[in-house]
């Protein structure tokens, strides 16, 4: 079997958006699934709209998603000679020609066609003039005027385009720049791309591209046009529906694996399964399972999936992604062991990494911030003696494990004749400043002796100062 070669070919005129990320992901997954290659190509021939900043944003988005390309990035802006060579070839084989019709003349042709109730089109004035190169001339593709061009699409099925619908379209502008349809085919041909998987907004371009493949004498790739991603009102996903940039979701605290899982399910399915690890996606991703109907982007569902991924992930997978949020609050996160120990206590309680970092404040704050209500309710004079006793018992322990901590608390309960709740809540407030937190045994184990003893002491002082 031939090796699969896919590509992602973004135009760098903005950030990496959800739809683009989905295209990149499908191409990457398919290459991974088939042990093929995934190529990154930056389509920056539109100099007016392309910016370096957008190129960087695309890299940043892909990096966060964990999508690595095997070849590239290739830049169209650096490939002018290759396009020129192919355009010359098309001219010399009689598949393209120079055209000197002026914009006014072309507008007049269009007007004439419209007046006759026909589709506006170039009328072929220069088709057989055999003009040579000259300044201001464009190059047009000599499109066949009869028969059909058929797109056999893996997703859409067979789509028939009547060739007489096409006019002799421009493949090189008067400034010498190739047009999109020419550049994309020359690139895909010279990069040996055999699987073109992209958004279905490109279906209408495909017959022109097929004609160029044929004129160049090159075998067609497999085409797979994926339905657009839609918003909840079933219109194409746009800013009106909320954030569409991939990095906005990173900044909201999504785990990349969760976002990748959610993206994959936008237009691809595997039975009813919703949760996929990255590895599972690679194992299961085939073109046949891409759906015909558009995926609807649902941020609420995405967040629920994120919570599931946070719950299921290993602490070491979460650690690098939650760190930036902790650092945003000014915390020093150099102690990896501490970070990896506290993560499991927050995993079941966090829908996003941002939420996880917010709940981790008490682990990092040098001085606790106390919730006034909790202090009033739980830090009362009657609890001073039990807290003192707890301090003493804990200070004699050499290590904290659940069993030992349990014994300490059972002894306290017996000694002071109080229920666990009566002692656990004050301890929680003493250690976290609030009345809601992970289990106190877990917290004690993570915080460690020094911090625990300091915070108990501080709570005692607080009560006594009242
Ligand atoms: N550069 C095109 C875009 O960003 C994609 C071209 C293609 O995939 O063929 O829409």
119-162 pLDDT tens trace: 888 999 999 999 999 999 999 999 999 999 999 999 999 999 99
Of 3.40.50.620, 3.40.50.1370, 3.10.150.10, 3.30.70.100, the CATH number of 79-226 is: 3.40.50.620
Residues 6 or more apart whose CB falls under 8 angstroms from that of 254 comprise 302, 303, 306, 352, 353
Query: Does 3 qualify as catalytic in the annotation?
Result: no
Average pLDDT, the chain: 95
Nearest CA to 42 among 78, 83, 74, 82?
74
**What distance in angstroms lies between residue 30's CA and the mean position of ligand 1's atoms?**
18
For 354-402, write each residue's pLDDT tens digit.
Answer: 999 999 999 999 999 999 999 999 999 999 999 999 999 999 998 898 8
Q: How far apart are CA 83 and CA 182, in angstroms?
A: 8
- Closest ligand 1 atom, residue 201 Cα: 10
Question: 239, 292, 376, 377: which one is catalytic?
Answer: 239
Q: Confidence class of residue 352 from pLDDT cuts 50, 70 and 90?
A: very high
Task: For the chain, report the end-to-end CA distance as a whole number of angstroms.
Answer: 79
Residue from 49, 77, 191, 202 whose mutation best tests the ligand 1 pocket (most atoms within 8 A of CB)? 202
| Sign of the C-alpha dihedral computed for residues 285, 287, 289 and 295 taken in this order | positive
pLDDT at 319 over 90: yes
The token pair that represents 38 in the structure block: 């995934």
How many CA atoms lie within 13 Å of 289's alpha carbon, on the beta-carbon side? 18
How many CA atoms lie within 13 Å of 274's alpha carbon, on the beta-carbon side? 9
Q: Where in the chain is the domain with CATH 1.10.10.350?
A: 365-466
User: Is 7 within 8 Å of 31 (Cβ atoms)?
Assistant: no
pLDDT at 203 over 80: yes
| Unique residue bearing structure tokens 């072929």 | 124
Nearest CA to 244 among 20, 32, 93, 412?
20
**DSSP, residue by residue, 346-395:** HGGG-SSHHHHHHHTHHHH-SSPPP-HHHHHHH--GGGHHHHHHHHHHHH
Residues 6 or more apart whose CB falls under 8 angstroms from that of 428 comprise 378, 434, 435, 437, 440, 443
Distances (CA, A) of 60 to 15, 21, 57, 99: 9, 11, 5, 42
Q: Where in the chain is the domain with CATH 1.10.8.70?
A: 313-361
Q: How far apart are CA 326 and CA 343, in angstroms?
A: 12
For 92-109, write each residue's pLDDT tens digit.
Answer: 999 999 999 999 999 999
User: Is 114 within 8 Å of 94 (Cβ atoms)?
Assistant: no
Convert 448-466 to b/e letters by CB count within 10 Å (16 or more is b).
eeebbbebbeebbeebeee
User: Is 180 within 8 Å of 43 (Cβ atoms)?
Assistant: yes
**What distance in angstroms lies between residue 24's CA and the mean position of ligand 1's atoms?**
11
**DSSP, residue by residue, 181-196:** HHHHHHHHHHTT--EE
Q: How far apart are CA 311 and CA 351, in angstroms?
A: 9
The radius of gyration of the chain's CA atoms, rounded to the nearest angstrom, is 32
For 34-76, write each residue's pLDDT tens digit.
Answer: 999 999 999 998 888 889 999 999 999 999 999 999 999 999 9
The token pair that represents 136 in the structure block: 């201001």
Q: How far apart are CA 253 and CA 398, in angstroms?
A: 37
Residue 212 confidence (pLDDT): 98
Q: Confidence class of residue 113 from pLDDT cuts 50, 70 and 90?
A: confident
**What distance in angstroms lies between residue 171's CA and the mean position of ligand 1's atoms?**
16
Q: Where in the chain is the domain with CATH 3.40.50.620?
A: 5-72+228-306, 79-226
Of 1.10.10.350, 3.40.1160.10, 3.40.50.970, 3.20.20.220, the CATH number of 365-466 is: 1.10.10.350
Residues within a 6 A CB radius of ligand 1: 9-11, 43, 184, 198, 202
Q: How far apart are CA 218 and CA 127, in angstroms?
A: 24
Q: Look at the domain 313-361 and name its fold.
A: Helicase, Ruva Protein; domain 3 (1.10.8)
**What distance in angstroms lies between residue 9's CA and the mean position of ligand 1's atoms?**
5
For 10-25, write each residue's pLDDT tens digit.
Answer: 999 989 999 999 999 9
Was domain 5-72+228-306 assigned CATH 3.40.50.620?
Answer: yes
Alpha-carbon 54 to chain mean position? 15
Cis peptide before 156 (omega within 30 of 0): no
For the chain, give the percent of residues with pLDDT over 70. 100
User: Is 24 within 8 Å of 67 (Cβ atoms)?
Assistant: yes
Q: How far apart are CA 247 and CA 64, in angstroms?
A: 8
Q: How far apart are CA 455 and CA 427, in angstroms?
A: 9
**What distance in angstroms lies between residue 228's CA and the mean position of ligand 1's atoms?**
13
**How many of the other CB atoms lie within 10 Å of CB of 204?**
10
User: E strands of 2-79, at which residues?
Assistant: 5-8, 37-42, 71-75
User: Is 168 within 8 Å of 122 (Cβ atoms)?
Assistant: yes
């Amino acid at each position: 079997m031939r090796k699969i070669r896919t590509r992602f070919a973004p135009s760098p005129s903005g950030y990496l958006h959800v739809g683009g990320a989905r295209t990149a992901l499908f191409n990457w997954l398919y290459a991974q699934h088939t042990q093929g290659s995934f190529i990154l190509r930056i389509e920056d021939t539109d100099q007016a709209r392309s910016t370096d900043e957008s190129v960087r944003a695309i890299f940043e988005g892909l990096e966060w998603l964990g999508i690595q390309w095997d070849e590239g990035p290739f830049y169209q802006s650096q490939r002018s000679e290759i396009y020129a060579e192919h355009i010359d070839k098309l001219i010399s084989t009689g598949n393209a020609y120079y055209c000197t019709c002026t914009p006014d003349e072309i507008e007049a042709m269009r007007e004439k066609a419209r007046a006759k109730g026909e589709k506006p089109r170039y009328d072929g004035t220069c088709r057989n003039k055999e003009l040579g190169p000259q300044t201001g001339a464009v190059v047009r593709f000599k499109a066949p005027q009869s028969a059909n061009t058929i797109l056999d699409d893996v997703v859409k099925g067979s789509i028939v385009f009547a060739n007489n619908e096409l006019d002799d379209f421009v493949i090189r502008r008067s400034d010498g720049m190739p047009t999109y349809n020419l550049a994309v085919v020359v690139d895909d041909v010279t990069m040996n791309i055999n699987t073109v998987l992209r958004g279905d907004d490109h279906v209408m371009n495909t017959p022109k591209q097929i004609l160029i493949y044929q004129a160049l004498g090159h075998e067609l790739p497999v085409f797979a046009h994926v339905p657009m991603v839609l918003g909840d009102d079933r219109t194409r996903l746009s800013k009106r529906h909320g954030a569409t940039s991939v990095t906005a979701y990173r900044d909201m605290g999504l785990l990349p694996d969760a976002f990748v899982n959610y993206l994959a399910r936008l237009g691809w399915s595997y039975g009813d399964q919703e949760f996929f690890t990255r590895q599972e996606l690679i194992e299961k991703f085939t073109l046949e399972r891409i759906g015909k109907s558009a995926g609807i982007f649902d941020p609420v569902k995405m967040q629920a999936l994120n919570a599931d991924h946070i719950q299921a992930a290993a602490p070491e997978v979460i650690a690098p992604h939650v760190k930036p949020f902790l650092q945003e609050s000014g915390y020093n996160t150099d102690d990896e062991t501490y970070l990896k120990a506290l993560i499991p206590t927050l995993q079941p309680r966090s829908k996003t990494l941002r939420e996880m970092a917010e709940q981790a404040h008490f682990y990092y704050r040098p001085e606790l911030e106390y919730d006034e209500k909790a202090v009033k309710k739980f830090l009362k004079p009657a609890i001073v003696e039990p807290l003192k006793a707890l301090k003493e018992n804990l200070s004699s322990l050499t290590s904290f494990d659940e069993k030992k901590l349990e014994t300490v608390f059972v002894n306290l309960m017996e000694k002071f004749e109080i229920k666990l709740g009566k002692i656990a809540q004050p301890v929680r407030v003493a250690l976290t400043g609030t009345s809601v937190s992970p289990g106190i045994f877990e917290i004690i184990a993570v915080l460690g002796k020094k911090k625990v003893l300091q915070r108990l002491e501080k709570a005692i002082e607080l009560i006594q100062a009242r």
